[in-house]
Amino acid sequence: MDPNHSSENKKGFLIFLGRRWALIFLILECLVFSFTTEAFFSLRGIQIVLFYGTTIFLLGTAETFVIITGGIDLSVGFVMGFASIVSAKLVVLFTNMGVSPGVSILVGVLLTWLIGLIPGYVNGSLVARLNVPPFIATFSMLGITHGTSELLIRGVPAKNLPYLANAIGNGYFIYSVPGKVVSFFQKPEIQRGELLLEIIPNMVVIAFVFILIFAFILKNTKFGQHTYAIGGSTDAALRVGINVKTHLIKVYMISSFFATLSGTVYMLQYVTGKADAGAPFLLDAIVAVVIGGASLYGGIGTVGGTILGCLILSVLETGLRIMGVPTFDKYIAVGVILILAVLIDQFFPELIHRED
């Protein structure tokens, strides 16, 4: 065999691995946890990963759009808390007015999604029209949403939500008793001792519907192309005739929409609204985006990569919890993985970034 050819092959293999290091890491992680714990490799274990991951999936997607344009959104965590409170308050308000729980949840959530566009619009306007650095603009918005949500609840978490919220938030998409019944959304009647399989939490379905839509928009539409163009070079984007200001405002609104979405999901899952509901997830969201291959300088990143990054974090957290390791170690691991991700990117740029 030609030695040159085999070294080409070897390099090709390395490139193959280098581009997929995150995926390989995820698989390794899953293998390790499957062997060290009994509960991890099971339908239940995997669904716990998805259930706890919902917040990071959504916040990660929010952050992806902003980071691709070369910005950052520090406000997502508290916009999420703000949305959880607003939606909880609205739902309680409507039910107290005598509207049926189903309708009040629907209207409350939809209204919250609308309200949730406001922080994004303000962020975007500050960044695009007044040239405020994204870091500062979104940090100010963090303070403003934090203060507003604390004022809305005055220190007491929102409560008295209808039971239906819990049923929706913690329900599953498919229920099945193997060999007998399959039903969607509704829990079937079962006899004692029968095995009921609950497949895919509702909230994961809702989250992924939106994530897929926006992943499609980012990948296949002009809007997505322009987002990458602005991140690559704002000047070039301007010269090509892209309306950078409007576009940036839209991007920050998308980010704030996803944060709001995760706030309403939180409200349904935990049946309450809390100001600091999303505070610990800001770091996780940014880390997931960076692990997913995005660059903080803008122009690079995909929703798929971000979801992979989110899964790595979520599997890590769930696995460590099942193993009974104190969650403190999670922070150390996340910090180390973050730095490793960037180092791999720095040292093997030719392996990871395609040259086509």
Residues contributing to the site for another protein (CB under 8 A): 72, 74, 126, 130-133, 135-137, 139-144, 146-148, 150-151, 154, 276, 279-280, 283, 286-287, 290, 296-297, 326, 328-336, 338-339, 342-343, 346
Question: At its nearest, how many Å lie between another protein and the CB of residue 92?
Answer: 20
The count of C-alpha atoms lying within 13 angstroms of the C-alpha of 47, restricted to the half-sphere facing its C-beta, is 16
Closest to another protein by CB, 134 vs 224, is 134
Question: At its nearest, how many Å lie between another protein and the CB of residue 304?
Answer: 21
Distances (CA, A) of 318 to 26, 52, 107: 13, 8, 33
Question: At its nearest, how many Å lie between another protein and the CB of residue 329?
Answer: 6
* Beta bridge partner(s), residue 181: 177
What count of residues does the chain have? 356
Question: At its nearest, how many Å lie between another protein and the CB of residue 325?
Answer: 11
293: DSSP letter = T
Q: Using an 8 Å Cβ cutoff, are 345 and 293 in contact?
A: yes
The count of C-alpha atoms lying within 13 angstroms of the C-alpha of 182, restricted to the half-sphere facing its C-beta, is 5
Question: At its nearest, how many Å lie between another protein and the CB of residue 348?
Answer: 13
Closest to another protein by CB, 109 vs 277, is 277
Closest to another protein by CB, 50 vs 277, is 277
Closest to another protein by CB, 150 vs 198, is 150
Which amino acid is located at 130 in the chain?
L
Closest to another protein by CB, 125 vs 176, is 125
Distances (CA, A) of 299 to 26, 306, 344, 348: 25, 14, 18, 18
Give 147's contacts (C-beta < 8 A, 6+ positions apart). none
